[in-house]
Every structure is written in structure tokens, then in C-alpha cells.
């Protein structure tokens, strides 16, 4: 019989890599930050898009037309699925809602992503 090396569980390393990849862009960091700040069980994607776009705090900075459409598309097709894949949030595209899956993980991931 041949000797087999011990099996190493790489799940934590894979998860850490997925989280780092998910938070590699400033927009995804800002999105998660807003989601944590809103502190609701379920948040409409529109609310997050408005927060990222400036509609909530600074209406004069809000974008409209093609730029807003690009933001909405990026959230739907790229940013929210990437954060869900990393296990940070749950995205329901049919309902148009998002919820933080693991709040402590979300806050810890943001701290690490924003560290110098």
C-alpha cells in the first residue's frame, strides 16, 4: 500500500479567497458598507442602488439615464452575485432584494478590505 498525504481542508482558504475577490472593487465595498449601515433584514436592491448613486444623501449628485442603468446592470449581473457567491449576502433577483447572510463576516470582511 502506498502512503497518502493527509487530506487538508482548504475550505477556509477558498472562502477567504472568494471574500477577497468579492471585495476587490470599491463599488462592492461601498455596497456592502451601505447594506450593513441600513441594518435591515431585507433591503430592496433599489435602496442600495440609490445609496451608491447618491440619491439618498445627495440628490444633486444622483445620476440618471445611461449611467444609472449601467449601475443597475452591474449590481444585478456582477456585484451582487459575486458577494452572494462569497457567502456574504443573499441576493434574490426575482424579488429584487438583498440581505446580509452573516453580519459579523460582512463587518470583518469590510475591515480587512479597507485596511491599509
Q: Is the pLDDT of residue 73 over 90?
A: yes
Q: What is the 3-state secondary structure (H, E, C) of 19-82?
A: HHHHCCCHHHHHHHHHHHHHCCCCEEHHHHHHHHHCCCCCHHHCCCHHHHHHHHHHHHHHHHHH
Prediction pTM value: 0.76
Q: Report which DSSP code applies to 91.
A: E
Q: How confident is the model at residue 99 (pLDDT cuts 50, 70, 90)?
A: very high
Per-residue confidence band for 5, with pLDDT thresholds at 50, 70 and 90: low
For the chain, domains (ranges, CATH) are 15-114 (1.10.10)
d(CA 29, CA 83): 10
Amino acid at each position: 500500500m502506498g502512503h497518502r498525504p493527509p487530506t487538508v481542508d482548504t475550505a477556509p482558504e477558498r472562502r477567504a479567497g472568494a471574500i477577497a475577490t468579492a471585495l476587490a472593487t470599491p463599488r462592492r465595498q461601498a455596497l456592502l458598507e451601505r447594506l450593513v449601515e441600513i441594518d435591515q433584514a431585507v433591503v430592496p436592491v433599489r435602496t442600495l442602488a440609490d445609496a451608491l448613486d447618491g440619491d439618498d444623501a445627495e440628490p444633486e449628485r444622483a445620476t440618471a439615464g445611461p449611467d444609472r442603468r449601467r449601475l443597475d446592470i452591474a449590481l444585478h449581473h456582477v456585484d451582487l452575485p459575486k458577494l452572494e457567491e462569497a457567502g456574504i449576502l443573499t441576493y434574490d433577483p426575482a424579488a429584487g432584494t438583498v440581505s446580509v447572510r452573516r453580519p459579523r463576516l460582512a463587518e470583518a470582511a469590510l475591515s480587512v478590505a479597507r485596511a491599509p
